Amino acid sequence: MTLRIALILGSTRPGRRGDQIAAWALEAARAHGGADYELIDLADHDLGNLDEPGNPNFQQYQHDHTRAWGTLIDSFDGYVFLVPEYNHSYPGALKNALDYVYREWNDKAAGIISYGGWVAGARAAEALRLVLAELQVATVRAQPTISTHPSFHTGTFVPRRASTPPWTACSTR
């Protein structure tokens, strides 16, 4: 049985650049192999603000979009979160997506690739780890970080070594 890993793009902001990093990370992961990798772009899922009246622990979802989201999340064996840093944390759209379901996240593993300004999204990744722990998702220690200052000076993401996996090509500034 092949592992299924979702690369979750955690920003829905118009004009975002995370989609460039996501494409690169997905390509590198697929080249590395070992699992089936699929991109989940939160911008493609119409979750809106959390609108379920009940506790997600009971999985008694009232809305079709929540049931579809739960089925999608549950179908993966693990996750890689691609998370930008907004104001020392991660985007509200990602927190909202995490909060929609609960059991579907449980007992799985996740990696985090962060990006942002001078600390390359490190604070967003650390804030995300706290929430993932509560969702019973085990995070791996290795945390690639990408500084957007040197990487996006032209408006286009250019990895330092495009032929290597994300965990070796990212800037650590």
- Residue 76's pLDDT is 98
Question: Given this model, what pLDDT does residue 151 score?
Answer: 57
- What range does the domain containing 148 cover? 4-169
pLDDT for 153? 61
Q: Alpha-carbon torsion 118, 159, 91, 96, what sign?
A: negative
Tokens 């408006």 locate to 155
Q: Check: pTM over 0.85? Answer yes or no.
A: yes
CA–CA separation, 51 and 46 (whole Å): 12
Number of domains in the chain: 1
Q: What pLDDT is recorded for position 58? A: 95
H-helix or E-strand containing 8? strand 4-9
Residue 43 to residue 65: CA distance in whole angstroms:
13
What residues contact 92, with CB distance under 8 A and at least 6 apart?
none
Tell me the C-alpha distance between 76 and 60, whole Å. Answer: 20
| CATH number, domain with residue 165 | 3.40.50.360
Tens-digit pLDDT profile for the chain (173 aa)? 899 999 999 999 998 889 999 999 999 999 999 999 999 999 999 898 999 999 999 999 999 999 999 999 999 999 999 999 999 999 999 999 999 999 999 999 999 999 988 888 999 999 999 999 999 999 999 888 888 876 566 667 766 654 444 444 444 43
